[in-house]
Each structure stands twice: as structure tokens, then as C-alpha cells.
Amino acid sequence: MSGALDGIVVADFTRVLAGPYATMLLGDLGADVIKVERPGVGDDTRSWGPPFDSAGRATYFEAINRNKHSVVIDLRSREGQERARELALSADVLVENFAPGTFDRYGLGYEQLHAVNPGLVYASISGFGSAPEGRELPGYDLLVQASGGLMSVTGPEPGHPTKAGVALVDVITGLHCTIGILAALRHRDRTGEGQHVEVALLSSLLSAMVNQSTSYVNAGVIPGIMGNAHPSIVPYETYPTADRDLVIAVGNDGQFRSLCAVLGHPEWADDERFTTNLNRVAHRHELGGMMATTLRQRSADEWWSLLTPAGVPCGPINDIADAFALAARVGLEPIATFEGAADVPTVAHPIRLSATPATYRHTPPALDGGTS
């Protein structure tokens, strides 16, 4: 079955996470991705472990490098720069995440290549953009989680800023890069002209912080850490039960009324303090204390089985194994295998396309080994 991006050649000059994630998604959708790596060591994530799989390969690298070919090119040498230029001029898409200005010095900058290959879609990923004020700042996910405000709203309590448990900013930036590339390819289909796609970790994070960002931009409010609570919705957080915490995520007054009925306190829904979400936010501590007293009378799974049929969004706090089990149970098929390698699992592509679904053609490549 043909992929949506069959025939598209991607010259992948990225490493670590944001760029490789974007190019892997393109590869899953059928693009031919050629991953350019440094001599001897390759992508940094080849050595990022533990954990390693049974064959000794870093699972970090494997997470974001399937459906790619690997070639080794020394970009610091004249010969390597010529090889890279040949690859770029034969590609439909080039993706790079070097420090801004680096590829211009190699003769591989956007303007330099666009002049010869005007249809090239050229994507650049940076930490803080290409302007002189930001181009020298290092683009590491943890630094951007800190400097971009995410840690200021994440953590158990005020005074304890905490990073997300995954390199979330890199992932979001990779997604934005993919969207930009697909939009640019659509434009090229109509006009024949490529363009420069630029995404920065900081810009991606500010956009992805959605309501927290607009609380500042539109209302001048600087949000802070609230643990697992929500600044604008109540009840919408974790609550203690007889054995472990349970998430309850009530988004409207009807769901709140159903919650009160299941908890055995329908009168709460008519209490003036709780009749609307605005009132519940103002009295979150009173309501939280009342709910906690009741919820401690049953286990999390018991409450889950009672609240879910009543239309109240809730659920236990799963570990990764539980999460994959849940995804399988609800029919999402979260684990896929490679063509010709049914014993090698991989995390399934998240987008389902009815006519051109994602495919798993190649396991992550050995360094300079093409595909495996």
C-alpha cells in the first residue's frame, strides 16, 4: 500500500529528539528519509542509555529513528560538504537543527540551496530562533522548559518547579516542524516553489501552553504552580481514595451533578457555592475537602467503575505498562511490528489514515548501514 508521502525524499541533518521525531513521522507516512550522521559516533542518542534492548541498542535512539537510511558524512570537511550538497539538491525536504548560521558556513544554507533547487522545502529547528539575540543560546529541552515558563506552572506545590517527565518541548517542536513541512509541500504542489520553515523550541512551548499563555497575554495574569489542580476548572485534579489517587475531570455542570449523585450527595449540586464552575473555582478548597472525605470510602477502581458509566470523566493514575494495556483494551493497537521483522516491536504511529496508513518498513538503522 502506498504511503501519503511516497516519492518524497527527506535529507535529515538532525539529531537528538525534535528533528528526528519530525523526520520519523514523515518516514512513517511513506517518505524516503536519509539520516546524515557524524563519523564514528552518529546521533548522540545512539549512546543514551540505559535502557538498552536485548541487542544492546539504546531505546532512546530506537524511539525516533525507524523508517530511515543512515549515511555518514563529515560536514566539517570539504568533501563532506560536497556530498551533503548533492544530497540536498536531490531532495524534496531538508531538515536541520544545527546552531543558526552553521549551515550557511557549510554552503548548505537555505538561500544557497534555494537558488539551485527552488522546490526544496527547507526546515530549520532551533532553540530560540535565528535572530541575533537568540541564535547563540543553546536549545536543550530542559533549558526551554525552565526559561519558557513550563516549569513555573509544573510541580507539586509553589516553590518546587518541576520538569515534565518527558522532553515535551522537543516533541511539540517536532510536531510543529512536521506540520510546517506538510504545509510547505502543499504550497509547492500548487506553485512549484519551496520555502523556509522555521520552528523554535521557545515559540513552540509558548504556543503549546495555550490557556496558561493567554492568561498572561489577554488578562495580564502570571500563572503559578497548582500541583494537579486546574486554574480554571473544578473539580479537575487528583483526589485520594481508599487505596490510591484518582483523577476526576469534570468539565461542565451536568457532569458535576452526575458526580454528586454517584458520591451520594446530590445536594451539593444545588449548593450555591458549587452550582456553577465559576463558583466551584472560588470554593475549590471546601469542595475538595468534602469530596476527599467521601472518596476515601472506596478504592480507586471501585469509583472508576461507578463514575464512568454515569458519564463522569475519571481514571486511575497508570504507569507506562498500564497505559499500553489500556490502549490495547480500547482497540488503539499501540504496538506495531516491522515488515519482515515481526519479533521487533515499535510504538505505533499515532495518526490513523484510512487510505494511506503509516507503515513500518525499516527498523532504526545501524550507523552508515542503510536500513536494517
* Residues labelled as active-site residues: 170
Residue 37: Cβ within 10 Å count: 21
What single DSSP character describes residue 273?
T
| Cβ neighbours around 333 below 10 Å, total | 10
Q: 58: which DSSP letter?
A: B
Nearest alpha-carbon partner for 223 in 171, 158, 274, 169: 158
Task: Quote the CA–CA distance of 360 and 343 in Å, as a whole number.
Answer: 13
Nearest to 95 by CA among 83, 107, 103: 103
Q: How many helices (H) and strands (E) does the chain have?
A: 14, 11
User: Which residue is associated with the grid cell 524516503?
Assistant: 32
220 by Cβ neighbours in 10 Å (0-12 / 13-18 / 19+) ranks as exposed
Q: Are 1 and 356 in contact (CB under 8 A)?
A: yes
Residue 95 DSSP SS3: strand
Cα-flanking dihedrals φ and ψ of residue 298, to 5°? -135, 165
Q: Are 240 and 300 in contact (CB under 8 A)?
A: no
Q: What is the DSSP letter of 314?
A: E
One-letter amino acid at 280 equals: R
Instruction: Look up residue 358 and give its amino acid.
Output: A
**Adjacency order of strands within the sheet including 236-240:** 236-240, 245-249, 314-316
Q: Using CB atoms within 10 A of its CB, is residue 131 exposed (0-12), middle (13-18) or buried (19+)? A: exposed
